[in-house]
Structure 1
């Protein structure tokens, strides 16, 4: 049965660079995994109506005469929602708390795991309703609730505790939730917070919600002040870079692919995956986006995390993704007790794509090494040298094998064109880095393999009958991933074969709304591919068309500038996990390509 949860675009994103939360236009926090992004949830109504939430909104929210407007405070992920009712207006300012005194690159390293909600009366007199119903471990646990002498309520179940405090309000514990109504007049301010703690470890932090909100706002703004961007569409780029910072796990530097798990690519479908991990495939794209947005510290930390996570090489392929602290085994299981977003099942925790052979991974990492080469020294030593040599030799010995491709299909392995191009990229970068790698470098052999890969792609990937490079060797099926050929400089966009491919992909996979599907049977527009098309148009000299397409695709963000993974072609609604790092990365890179068409 389809569950009528709010549209994905209704949610705003909060982050403390340790974890993240989603809060809807109706004032309900429907997703929060407070310990870390890929940890267990305490609120998961996003995936099942009974899996926990914390709603704070006017009584009768959504009724006649009611409307909402919201925006982030400038240069932050602090969200201000204004509820206009027939009786007056009230604002709720939501944030995940930064550590007191945190500034710039300290943001998130020691966050206290506290959700702040500050109610501000703006006009009239508004009756508010609080509904606090935590359900830890994805809804498996219903906590015991204990009233506290200071008027708060302690919720405890399994390994976690949550402390709810609400200014001067005296809260009463129900059987399985806390409900409370109160009135707010113009000028009145009430600070509410929910602090996370461990049942057998650290107790929940105690904070002053108003002071902590001010500290958190200043921490975000100080962070943004250290980053500059001088290209086109600066507001969009700066906001997307803030979202990427919000998806960065500050303790390690890893960037989570998205905040959520199991939001579907198609309502009622089963392609519902857990994206709360860090993909090496996204590595070079992420590095480029952070570099464009002038975030050098983040690029260095992300690179250090990848080097450590990959470790020493064995016979197994390098995994495409890791946990946020470099965990390799993130085996997948189904949460069969959850109904899924609007009935889309299964709900997954973990992602078995870590087991797949995906030949593009070394190329993505090597591309990132190349981008940072001048900052990594004239001679590579130790772990860095071992990683580069190991990746290069792994590509040299495996590039002829089939794999699962960048879309991580769970069917048979094939010879995907984009994977082979990434193998070429790895060998090309290895040749360019050879003088930094010592006596074991073999640039002559590597160059020969690189050229063999290129010849193979040009011969086997080109389909003369279609007049385009297709998704896999010998296949007649188009795939938007081949737009990576000019983006990686495998072939110039102006090459006749590439011009023909770009035109064919745009004609057959494009939509009236300007979006691009990944393949002909894909039911939704994939935002990253749409931004790739923008880059390709720039590189073919079609600057005005590229700008028009960029602005159309950028318009698919929600009211607070967030992108999920895909857009439904019939309704225009957002689909897939959110906020999606790759969509924001695609925007940043496309904006820079428009600014600097010759950028590498």
Structure 2
């Protein structure tokens, strides 16, 4: 057994990076990793997206080097980065001071083989010279125990095994193992491949396998994109968003993470650092709805299996707000002292205590996610009476809880109220059950759920409305506003041109809008007043403006959001309204969903142009 690699590697020639969210995502719906602009992998969890970050440099602050997988060109001058068109394959080109250039291709294999989707827990990196005689150093420095431990290694003829706590991962390559093990620079005079994943022998030579995986993976993504129902305008925006959303799904179980990271602060030293690597029922609904809009319904089918398992484990229909990707119901939150945090802005957290909260919007979120399965004739297996009966258990909870206090979608930790949005989603649960019952010709159950929905709607329109403010408000009997009120027409409880919604929109713009960005709320919460705009809320404003006929206003806001994306077209949770800098966990599915919906709403129609 060998000493840890860090004990042998020389000190790096470059200064420690100043981390930003200029990151690319690679993945295959089993594994996912984040790559910085210079081609270093700074985040990857294993064995699942919510597992131990074996590459954790993103949260290592300015502490000693490590926790990354870097490929650095000697005498570095600049880098270029892009995705290969319509794929999840990331290309980084590094150039040195003399003009020598090399190319890095990063991807996670995904393709159809033997009647199934091949998506191993692993990633592939390929390096090749483009111009001149570049020299590069490959530093492979994983960690385990959330950055606490440098792994011991064992070496083979063309591989290194990393003993990472309870798991062992293997790097297999055609590059000289001695150079990798000792971190020595070497001439990139030919293509090299690095296959990192399960502790298994490869069935063929690393370079040959990598080339085959590359071609098949590129073909898979291009075929997947080919069948998306994209709008005429903003096609690149929609395609990149759709691929990114797909990468946030854990296909084995059907769960969908809210983001791939934990503990990227909402802003600075706010202390708002949360673990988003779990499946929120609410966030997953938005992701499924966006992909359904594009015709990519398989994610909905897989998510249906996931929530069916959740419902089966809850005989009375009660739903907690979030679950682990493997259906775990307990994801206790704890601080991680071994990682300083993004830019040393901790604390770093693993787990999320919100699972213990009561959030009553989840019933509507689940039923809305699945409703299309009862109406879409393209699906090989459509929803039937058995599934409807299971969903009715959730509907009974919604009918019982719509006017009961909860933590709300903003997950307030120290106070509760009857939140208007939660009540609206309970209405949506009952409304959609009535529609499903009608589809299934179950007239008595249709009448039952229609009566429940009407009762809830009447209560919301009375108790969620503030006559003095002439606006709907965040909670029954309250005075505060929040951005979720803008979702009321989208969910269907009130038409967009209803005078009550028009005045609510006006109030939200007056109190929550800052330029072309929207805060989720402005009232102080457990951590004070929010300091960044929540990007999803800005998209909700765009949706509302389109619905009331203010398309040009919506276009201007959308144009500004497009400018806040990183260099690869990706968004995090929020943006600082004064600097335009991205903050919060990354990539945020809420935000990527918003890009899809806004593009679809604002695009010209194909038939008006062709």
Q: TM-score, normalised by structure 2?
A: 0.88
Q: C-alpha distance in 1, partners of 2:568/2:532?
A: 22
SS in 2 for 1:22: strand
Structure 2 counterpart of 1:590, from 584, 598, 601: 598
Structure 2 counterpart of 1:184, from 188, 192, 217: 188
| Superposed CA offset, 1:129-168 (max 9, x none) | 2211111231122211333233x43322422223334424
The aligned counterpart of 1:239 is 240
Contact 1:268 1:342 in 2 (8 A): no
| Distance change >3 Å, CA 364–CA 205, structure 1 → 2 | farther
The answer to whether the aligner puts 1:460 opposite 2:463 as a matched pair is yes
The aligned counterpart of 2:344 is 343
Structure 2 counterpart of 1:98, from 109, 116, 141: 109
| Superposed CA offset, 1:249-278 (max 9, x none) | 121232221111111112222221111122
Pairwise CA distance, 1:529: 0.8
Please list, as runs of the form range in 1=range in 2, the aligned pairs for 1:152-301 lying within 5 A after superposition: 152-171=159-178, 178-185=182-189, 188-197=190-199, 207=206, 208-301=209-302
The answer to whether the aligner puts 1:569 opposite 2:577 as a matched pair is yes
SS in 1 for 2:139: strand
Q: C-alpha distance in 2, partners of 1:542/1:106?
A: 46
Contact 1:238 1:293 in 2 (8 A): no
Structure 2 counterpart of 1:22, from 34, 38, 43: 34
| Superposed CA offset, 1:395-443 (max 9, x none) | 1222221001111121211111111111111121122223467879544
**How large is the Cα RMSD of the aligned pairs?**
2.6
Report the number of matched residues. Answer: 576
Structure 2 counterpart of 1:9, from 21, 24, 38: 21
Q: C-alpha distance in 1, partners of 2:284/2:57?
A: 31
Please list, as runs of the form range in 1=range in 2, the aligned pairs for 1:30-179 lying within 5 A after superposition: 30-48=42-60, 49=63, 52-61=67-76, 66-98=77-109, 102=113, 106-107=116-117, 110-150=118-158, 152-171=159-178, 178-179=182-183
Pairwise CA distance, 1:540: 0.5
SS in 1 for 2:72: strand
The aligned counterpart of 1:519 is 521
Q: C-alpha distance in 1, partners of 2:382/2:596?
A: 30
Contact 1:328 1:354 in 2 (8 A): yes
Contact 1:5 1:46 in 2 (8 A): no
Pairwise CA distance, 1:77: 1.1
Structure 2: gaps spanning 5 or more residues:
1-14, 523-528, 606-610
The answer to whether the aligner puts 1:358 opposite 2:359 as a matched pair is yes
SS in 2 for 1:138: coil
| Superposed CA offset, 1:533-590 (max 9, x none) | 1111111011222122222212211111111111112322111111111111111122
Q: C-alpha distance in 2, partners of 1:304/1:231?
A: 33
SS in 2 for 1:192: strand
Q: TM-score, normalised by structure 1?
A: 0.89
Pairwise CA distance, 1:302: 1.8
| Superposed CA offset, 1:360-401 (max 9, x none) | 11111222233332148898333x133221011111222221
Please list, as runs of the form range in 1=range in 2, the aligned pairs for 1:357-436 lying within 5 A after superposition: 357-375=358-376, 380-382=384-386, 384-435=387-438
Q: C-alpha distance in 2, partners of 1:85/1:400?
A: 63
Pairwise CA distance, 1:106: 4.5
Q: C-alpha distance in 2, partners of 1:4/1:412?
A: 42
Pairwise CA distance, 1:336: 2.1
| Distance change >3 Å, CA 39–CA 378, structure 1 → 2 | closer
* Greater shift in the superposed pair: 357-366 or 226-235: 226-235
Pairwise CA distance, 1:203: 6.2
Contact 1:288 1:589 in 2 (8 A): no
Contact 1:71 1:560 in 2 (8 A): yes
| Superposed CA offset, 1:104-135 (max 9, x none) | x954xx42333222122222222212211111
Contact 1:87 1:126 in 2 (8 A): no
| Distance change >3 Å, CA 343–CA 240, structure 1 → 2 | same
